[in-house]
Amino acid sequence: MERNYLSLDQIVTKVYHSRPSWNDKKVFLKELTFEILQRIGYKFSLTRPTPVEKLRILLGLDLTFSADLSGDAHSTKKEGGWEIAITSDQVYSDGSQQWLTERGRFSLAHEIAHFILHYIEEELTEIASTLRLSEENAEQLCDLISSELLLPSGPLERASLNDIPALGAGKPLHRESFLLSIRLLENLRKSLNVSRMALIYKLDHTHILDEAECGIIISAFGVNRSTGRSPALRILKASIPSWGFMPENARVSTIGLESAVHAFNVLKYGETKQWKERLRVSERPGMNIGNKWSPRMLDTWGEHALYRFTARQTYLMTTFKWSKNQ
Protein backbone atom coordinates (compact mmCIF):
# COMPACT_ATOMS: atom_id res chain seq x y z
CA MET A 1 0.00 0.00 0.00
CA GLU A 2 1.29 3.45 -0.93
CA ARG A 3 2.13 5.25 2.27
CA ASN A 4 1.10 8.85 1.69
CA TYR A 5 -2.05 9.57 -0.23
CA LEU A 6 -2.25 12.98 1.33
CA SER A 7 0.80 15.20 1.02
CA LEU A 8 1.22 16.22 4.64
CA ASP A 9 4.57 17.72 3.71
CA GLN A 10 2.98 20.21 1.36
CA ILE A 11 0.07 21.10 3.69
CA VAL A 12 2.33 21.73 6.71
CA THR A 13 4.69 23.88 4.62
CA LYS A 14 1.83 25.89 3.15
CA VAL A 15 0.21 26.64 6.50
CA TYR A 16 3.61 27.40 8.06
CA HIS A 17 4.38 30.00 5.39
CA SER A 18 0.92 31.56 5.47
CA ARG A 19 2.13 33.90 8.21
CA PRO A 20 5.48 35.70 8.66
CA SER A 21 5.84 34.11 12.10
CA TRP A 22 3.87 32.06 14.65
CA ASN A 23 3.87 33.37 18.20
CA ASP A 24 1.71 30.56 19.37
CA LYS A 25 2.24 27.00 18.16
CA LYS A 26 -1.30 26.15 19.27
CA VAL A 27 -2.72 28.59 16.74
CA PHE A 28 -0.52 27.00 14.09
CA LEU A 29 -1.71 23.49 15.01
CA LYS A 30 -5.36 24.57 14.95
CA GLU A 31 -5.00 26.08 11.48
CA LEU A 32 -3.00 23.10 10.25
CA THR A 33 -5.64 20.68 11.48
CA PHE A 34 -8.46 22.52 9.79
CA GLU A 35 -6.46 22.77 6.56
CA ILE A 36 -5.87 19.00 6.64
CA LEU A 37 -9.62 18.40 7.07
CA GLN A 38 -10.44 20.73 4.20
CA ARG A 39 -7.93 18.96 1.95
CA ILE A 40 -9.84 15.72 2.34
CA GLY A 41 -13.07 17.43 1.30
CA TYR A 42 -14.50 18.35 4.71
CA LYS A 43 -16.82 21.33 4.92
CA PHE A 44 -17.75 22.44 8.41
CA SER A 45 -21.27 21.48 9.39
CA LEU A 46 -23.17 21.00 12.63
CA THR A 47 -25.08 18.14 11.05
CA ARG A 48 -22.34 15.55 10.58
CA PRO A 49 -19.12 14.34 12.23
CA THR A 50 -15.65 15.13 10.91
CA PRO A 51 -14.17 12.38 8.66
CA VAL A 52 -11.41 11.10 10.97
CA GLU A 53 -11.67 7.55 9.59
CA LYS A 54 -11.26 8.83 6.03
CA LEU A 55 -8.28 10.88 7.16
CA ARG A 56 -6.64 7.79 8.63
CA ILE A 57 -7.02 5.97 5.32
CA LEU A 58 -5.76 8.92 3.27
CA LEU A 59 -2.72 9.21 5.53
CA GLY A 60 -2.03 5.52 4.88
CA LEU A 61 -2.19 4.53 8.56
CA ASP A 62 -3.14 0.98 9.53
CA LEU A 63 -5.78 0.34 12.16
CA THR A 64 -6.22 -2.82 14.23
CA PHE A 65 -8.52 -3.71 17.10
CA SER A 66 -7.34 -5.65 20.07
CA ALA A 67 -8.99 -6.89 23.24
CA ASP A 68 -5.93 -6.37 25.40
CA LEU A 69 -4.08 -3.08 25.23
CA SER A 70 -2.64 -1.31 28.24
CA GLY A 71 -4.63 1.87 27.47
CA ASP A 72 -7.42 2.87 25.08
CA ALA A 73 -5.11 3.04 22.06
CA HIS A 74 -1.52 3.29 20.94
CA SER A 75 0.59 3.76 17.83
CA THR A 76 3.53 1.73 16.58
CA LYS A 77 5.98 2.89 13.99
CA LYS A 78 6.69 0.03 11.63
CA GLU A 79 8.98 -0.48 8.66
CA GLY A 80 7.58 2.03 6.15
CA GLY A 81 4.33 2.47 7.99
CA TRP A 82 2.38 3.40 11.09
CA GLU A 83 -0.08 1.20 12.92
CA ILE A 84 -2.78 2.37 15.28
CA ALA A 85 -4.27 -0.14 17.72
CA ILE A 86 -7.54 0.56 19.51
CA THR A 87 -9.34 -1.63 22.05
CA SER A 88 -12.17 -3.66 20.51
CA ASP A 89 -14.83 -2.20 22.80
CA GLN A 90 -14.50 1.08 20.85
CA VAL A 91 -15.89 -0.37 17.64
CA TYR A 92 -19.27 -1.89 16.81
CA SER A 93 -20.83 -3.46 13.79
CA ASP A 94 -24.24 -2.73 12.28
CA GLY A 95 -24.14 -6.03 10.39
CA SER A 96 -22.55 -4.73 7.21
CA GLN A 97 -19.98 -2.21 8.42
CA GLN A 98 -17.80 -1.43 11.41
CA TRP A 99 -18.21 1.90 13.17
CA LEU A 100 -16.15 3.61 15.81
CA THR A 101 -17.91 4.66 18.99
CA GLU A 102 -17.61 8.27 20.13
CA ARG A 103 -14.71 7.22 22.38
CA GLY A 104 -13.21 5.28 19.45
CA ARG A 105 -13.27 8.40 17.30
CA PHE A 106 -11.49 10.27 20.09
CA SER A 107 -8.84 7.54 20.39
CA LEU A 108 -8.31 7.43 16.63
CA ALA A 109 -8.03 11.23 16.38
CA HIS A 110 -5.51 11.23 19.24
CA GLU A 111 -3.34 8.60 17.53
CA ILE A 112 -3.55 10.45 14.19
CA ALA A 113 -2.32 13.52 16.08
CA HIS A 114 0.71 11.54 17.29
CA PHE A 115 1.42 10.61 13.69
CA ILE A 116 1.14 14.22 12.47
CA LEU A 117 3.50 15.51 15.18
CA HIS A 118 5.92 12.67 14.57
CA TYR A 119 5.84 13.34 10.83
CA ILE A 120 6.68 17.04 11.26
CA GLU A 121 9.49 16.23 13.68
CA GLU A 122 11.01 13.63 11.35
CA GLU A 123 10.43 15.14 7.94
CA LEU A 124 10.18 18.89 8.53
CA THR A 125 12.85 19.36 11.15
CA GLU A 126 13.28 23.08 10.58
CA ILE A 127 9.59 23.82 11.08
CA ALA A 128 9.52 21.51 14.09
CA SER A 129 12.44 23.27 15.74
CA THR A 130 11.26 26.83 14.94
CA LEU A 131 7.88 26.02 16.47
CA ARG A 132 9.54 24.05 19.28
CA LEU A 133 7.15 21.21 18.75
CA SER A 134 9.23 18.64 20.57
CA GLU A 135 9.85 20.71 23.68
CA GLU A 136 6.36 20.71 25.04
CA ASN A 137 4.37 17.86 26.42
CA ALA A 138 3.48 15.83 23.33
CA GLU A 139 0.29 14.51 24.96
CA GLN A 140 -1.05 18.04 25.40
CA LEU A 141 -0.36 18.90 21.78
CA CYS A 142 -1.98 15.64 20.66
CA ASP A 143 -5.07 16.42 22.72
CA LEU A 144 -5.23 19.84 21.09
CA ILE A 145 -4.90 18.41 17.56
CA SER A 146 -7.39 15.60 18.21
CA SER A 147 -9.95 17.96 19.69
CA GLU A 148 -9.62 20.09 16.54
CA LEU A 149 -9.92 17.00 14.34
CA LEU A 150 -13.22 16.13 16.02
CA LEU A 151 -14.66 19.64 16.27
CA PRO A 152 -12.75 22.49 14.57
CA SER A 153 -12.98 25.50 16.88
CA GLY A 154 -12.47 28.24 14.25
CA PRO A 155 -15.63 27.50 12.23
CA LEU A 156 -17.54 26.52 15.39
CA GLU A 157 -16.88 29.98 16.85
CA ARG A 158 -18.34 31.56 13.71
CA ALA A 159 -21.31 29.19 13.38
CA SER A 160 -24.85 30.41 13.89
CA LEU A 161 -27.74 29.10 15.93
CA ASN A 162 -29.56 28.50 12.65
CA ASP A 163 -26.88 25.98 11.65
CA ILE A 164 -28.06 23.64 14.42
CA PRO A 165 -30.14 20.83 12.94
CA ALA A 166 -33.80 21.03 13.92
CA LEU A 167 -33.50 24.77 14.50
CA GLY A 168 -32.56 26.10 11.09
CA ALA A 169 -35.68 24.90 9.34
CA GLY A 170 -38.05 25.83 12.15
CA LYS A 171 -40.04 28.95 12.75
CA PRO A 172 -38.31 32.13 13.90
CA LEU A 173 -37.08 31.87 17.46
CA HIS A 174 -38.61 33.85 20.23
CA ARG A 175 -35.37 34.94 21.79
CA GLU A 176 -36.86 35.69 25.21
CA SER A 177 -38.30 32.24 25.70
CA PHE A 178 -35.79 30.19 23.73
CA LEU A 179 -33.50 27.90 25.69
CA LEU A 180 -30.59 25.96 24.25
CA SER A 181 -32.01 22.92 25.96
CA ILE A 182 -30.42 19.69 27.12
CA ARG A 183 -32.33 17.86 24.39
CA LEU A 184 -31.01 20.21 21.69
CA LEU A 185 -27.45 19.89 22.96
CA GLU A 186 -27.78 16.10 23.04
CA ASN A 187 -29.01 16.04 19.44
CA LEU A 188 -26.19 18.32 18.42
CA ARG A 189 -23.48 16.20 20.00
CA LYS A 190 -24.97 13.06 18.47
CA SER A 191 -24.91 14.69 15.01
CA LEU A 192 -21.28 15.65 15.55
CA ASN A 193 -20.43 12.35 17.26
CA VAL A 194 -18.36 14.00 19.97
CA SER A 195 -18.46 13.72 23.72
CA ARG A 196 -20.77 15.97 25.72
CA MET A 197 -17.82 17.53 27.55
CA ALA A 198 -15.95 18.28 24.32
CA LEU A 199 -18.97 20.06 22.87
CA ILE A 200 -19.71 22.10 26.01
CA TYR A 201 -16.07 23.22 26.38
CA LYS A 202 -15.93 24.38 22.78
CA LEU A 203 -19.20 26.29 22.92
CA ASP A 204 -17.80 28.77 25.44
CA HIS A 205 -17.93 32.37 24.17
CA THR A 206 -19.17 31.34 20.74
CA HIS A 207 -21.58 33.22 18.53
CA ILE A 208 -24.07 30.38 19.08
CA LEU A 209 -24.31 31.10 22.82
CA ASP A 210 -24.47 34.85 22.14
CA GLU A 211 -27.37 34.37 19.75
CA ALA A 212 -29.13 31.88 21.98
CA GLU A 213 -28.54 34.11 25.02
CA CYS A 214 -27.88 30.95 26.97
CA GLY A 215 -25.22 29.46 29.18
CA ILE A 216 -24.22 25.96 30.25
CA ILE A 217 -22.64 25.04 33.58
CA ILE A 218 -20.95 21.74 34.33
CA SER A 219 -20.59 21.15 38.06
CA ALA A 220 -19.22 18.31 40.12
CA PHE A 221 -18.14 17.43 43.64
CA GLY A 222 -14.48 17.25 44.57
CA VAL A 223 -12.92 19.40 41.88
CA ASN A 224 -11.24 22.07 43.98
CA ARG A 225 -7.92 22.40 42.15
CA SER A 226 -6.16 24.21 44.97
CA THR A 227 -7.22 22.22 47.99
CA GLY A 228 -8.02 18.81 46.51
CA ARG A 229 -11.30 17.18 47.43
CA SER A 230 -14.20 19.38 48.29
CA PRO A 231 -17.54 18.56 49.87
CA ALA A 232 -19.15 21.37 47.86
CA LEU A 233 -20.64 21.27 44.39
CA ARG A 234 -18.33 23.39 42.24
CA ILE A 235 -18.30 24.81 38.74
CA LEU A 236 -16.06 22.62 36.58
CA LYS A 237 -16.71 24.59 33.44
CA ALA A 238 -19.06 27.39 32.48
CA SER A 239 -19.69 27.98 28.79
CA ILE A 240 -21.44 31.30 28.47
CA PRO A 241 -22.07 34.24 26.11
CA SER A 242 -19.17 36.56 25.29
CA TRP A 243 -20.49 39.34 27.52
CA GLY A 244 -20.35 37.24 30.65
CA PHE A 245 -17.96 35.94 33.24
CA MET A 246 -18.45 33.07 35.67
CA PRO A 247 -15.60 31.91 37.92
CA GLU A 248 -14.55 28.30 37.38
CA ASN A 249 -14.04 26.22 40.48
CA ALA A 250 -16.40 28.44 42.50
CA ARG A 251 -19.05 26.76 44.63
CA VAL A 252 -22.37 26.81 42.81
CA SER A 253 -23.92 28.26 45.98
CA THR A 254 -21.81 31.43 45.55
CA ILE A 255 -23.66 32.23 42.34
CA GLY A 256 -26.99 31.30 43.93
CA LEU A 257 -27.64 28.07 42.06
CA GLU A 258 -29.15 26.35 45.09
CA SER A 259 -31.33 24.02 43.03
CA ALA A 260 -28.20 22.29 41.69
CA VAL A 261 -27.38 20.38 44.87
CA HIS A 262 -30.94 19.13 45.15
CA ALA A 263 -30.94 18.11 41.48
CA PHE A 264 -27.64 16.30 41.99
CA ASN A 265 -29.20 14.22 44.76
CA VAL A 266 -32.54 13.37 43.19
CA LEU A 267 -31.92 13.05 39.45
CA LYS A 268 -31.31 9.74 37.72
CA TYR A 269 -28.69 9.60 34.96
CA GLY A 270 -29.88 11.38 31.84
CA GLU A 271 -33.03 12.69 33.53
CA THR A 272 -33.87 16.38 33.12
CA LYS A 273 -35.35 18.76 35.69
CA GLN A 274 -36.41 22.38 35.34
CA TRP A 275 -35.43 25.14 37.75
CA LYS A 276 -36.05 28.85 38.28
CA GLU A 277 -33.77 31.00 40.40
CA ARG A 278 -31.80 34.18 40.87
CA LEU A 279 -28.16 33.90 39.78
CA ARG A 280 -25.30 36.22 40.58
CA VAL A 281 -23.29 36.78 37.40
CA SER A 282 -20.66 39.19 36.06
CA GLU A 283 -21.28 41.11 32.88
CA ARG A 284 -19.32 43.41 30.63
CA PRO A 285 -21.53 46.49 30.62
CA GLY A 286 -20.58 47.81 27.18
CA MET A 287 -18.19 47.27 24.32
CA ASN A 288 -16.15 50.39 25.10
CA ILE A 289 -15.72 50.09 28.83
CA GLY A 290 -12.77 47.76 28.58
CA ASN A 291 -12.68 44.49 30.38
CA LYS A 292 -14.32 45.58 33.60
CA TRP A 293 -17.01 43.27 34.90
CA SER A 294 -20.02 44.47 36.74
CA PRO A 295 -22.14 42.28 38.98
CA ARG A 296 -25.72 41.55 38.04
CA MET A 297 -28.56 39.53 39.50
CA LEU A 298 -30.16 37.44 36.81
CA ASP A 299 -33.74 36.25 37.29
CA THR A 300 -33.49 33.13 35.27
CA TRP A 301 -34.47 29.53 34.58
CA GLY A 302 -33.24 26.45 32.84
CA GLU A 303 -32.71 22.71 33.17
CA HIS A 304 -30.48 20.34 35.10
CA ALA A 305 -29.42 16.89 33.90
CA LEU A 306 -27.16 14.36 35.60
CA TYR A 307 -24.48 12.42 33.73
CA ARG A 308 -21.69 10.01 34.45
CA PHE A 309 -18.19 11.33 33.78
CA THR A 310 -16.14 8.26 34.61
CA ALA A 311 -17.12 5.09 36.41
CA ARG A 312 -16.68 6.93 39.70
CA GLN A 313 -17.51 10.53 38.90
CA THR A 314 -20.81 12.15 38.16
CA TYR A 315 -21.49 15.66 36.96
CA LEU A 316 -24.46 17.94 36.65
CA MET A 317 -25.14 19.85 33.47
CA THR A 318 -27.18 23.02 33.82
CA THR A 319 -28.50 25.11 30.97
CA PHE A 320 -29.85 28.60 31.59
CA LYS A 321 -30.99 31.78 29.95
CA TRP A 322 -28.64 34.78 30.04
CA SER A 323 -30.12 37.71 28.18
CA LYS A 324 -28.01 40.80 28.06
CA ASN A 325 -31.03 43.04 28.44
CA GLN A 326 -33.95 41.66 30.33
Q: Contact residues for Zn ion (CB under 5 A)? A: 142
Residue with Cβ nearer Zn ion (141 or 167): 141
Distance of closest approach, residue 218 Cβ to Zn ion, in angstroms: 24
What minimum distance in Å lies between the beta carbon of 75 and Zn ion?
8
Provide the minimum distance between the beta carbon of 89 and Zn ion in the complex, in angstroms, as a whole number: 18
Cα separation of the two ends of the chain: 62
- Closer Cβ to Zn ion, 112 or 298, answer by number: 112
**Separation between Cα atoms, residue 292 and residue 21, nearest integer Å:** 32
Q: 144 Cβ partners below 8 Å, 6+ apart?
A: 26, 29, 30, 113
* Count of residues making up the chain: 326
Angle at 305 between CA 302 and CA 311, to 5 degrees: 155
User: At 174, is the secondary structure helix, strand, or coil?
Assistant: coil
Distance (Å, whole) CA 209 – CA 156: 11
Whole-angstrom distance, CA of residue 282 vs CA of residue 227: 25
- Closest separation in Å from C-beta 245 to Zn ion: 33
Residue with Cβ nearer Zn ion (142 or 212)? 142
Helix/strand/coil for 3: coil
Residue 108 or residue 246: which is nearer to Zn ion going by CB? 108
CB 9, min distance to Zn ion, A: 23
CB of residue 139 vs Zn ion: minimum separation in angstroms? 5
Instruction: Compare residues 110 and 321 and give the one whose CB is closer to Zn ion.
Output: 110
Q: Cβ closer to Zn ion: 8 or 142?
A: 142
Nearest distance, CB of residue 37 and Zn ion, angstroms: 20
CA dist., res. 108 & res. 103, Å (int): 9
Which uninterrupted H or E stretch holds 56? helix 52-58
- Specify the residue, 142 or 252, whose C-beta has the smaller distance to Zn ion: 142
CB of 74 or CB of 296, closer to Zn ion: 74
Report which residue type is found at 72.
D
Strands (E), the chain: 62-66, 73-78, 81-87, 91-93, 98-100, 214-221, 233-239, 244-245, 272-283, 294-308, 314-321
Distance of closest approach, residue 137 Cβ to Zn ion, in angstroms: 10
Q: Taking Cα atoms as reference points, which of 273, 322, 274, 319 lies closest to residue 296?
A: 322
Q: Tell me if 22 sits within 8 A of 131, measured CB to CB.
A: yes
Task: Name the DSSP letter for residue 173.
Answer: P
Q: In what order do the strands lie in the sheet with 62-66?
A: 62-66, 81-87, 73-78
